Every structure is written in structure tokens, then in C-alpha cells.
Amino acid sequence: MLHLVSQTTLSAALFARISAGDAVLFMGASVTSLLACGQQNQALIELTQYAKCYALSADVHAANIGSNELTQNIHVIDYPEFVQLAVEHPLIQTWS
């Protein structure tokens, strides 16, 4: 499953619904939650142990965040890579 996350607050309920092997794309305002110095850092590190996590490059750039400021194992991708994720994961859950 591909989870599209755009909400600014990442809740424990959201993390609980992501399964091993899922992909998670953070987009829009949610990219500000991905900072290595942020409150969600430990939860994100744990999430990356069983799910592939991505951030949309346009939104990371718009938020003026450097890729080196993100929690480790968050991969920054562009729109064509987003499309590829959607092709690879036909089931999509949107969190907004």
C-alpha cells in the first residue's frame, strides 16, 4: 500500500496503520514533520525500519529544508518517481 501523508501532525494512529512493506510519501505541509531535530524523529526512525519513506522534493524545497536536515532513511523523490510509486502500489491511502 502507498500512504500519501499531507497532514502536519503525525499521530500514533497513522503510524499504527502502516504495515511492513508499505511505502509512505510525505507531501505538502507534512514534510516539516520530517526534520531530524523534530518531535517525530524517533517515531520516523522506527517507521523506516519496516516501511519505505519518501518526501516529495518540490515540497521539501518549498519548505526550505535541506535533504541533510531530514530524518535518516527518508528518500527525497520527484514527481516521476511519485508516479512510479503509485504504479508499484495500486492501493493508496490518503492522510490529510
CATH number, domain with residue 17: 3.40.1260.10
Cell numbers linked to 70: 531530514
The pLDDT of residue 9 is 83
Contacts of 72 (CB under 8 A, 6+ apart): 36, 45, 48
Domain of 14 in residue numbering reads as 2-95
The pLDDT tens digits for 37-96 are: 998 999 999 999 999 999 999 999 999 999 899 999 999 999 999 999 999 999 999 998
In 3D space, the residue among 79, 58, 95, 67 whose CA is nearest the CA of residue 87 turns out to be 79
Domain count, the chain: 1
Alpha-helical regions (H) of 3-78: 12-16, 41-47, 57-62
Question: What is the Cα–Cα distance from 89 to 76, expressed in whole angstroms?
Answer: 18
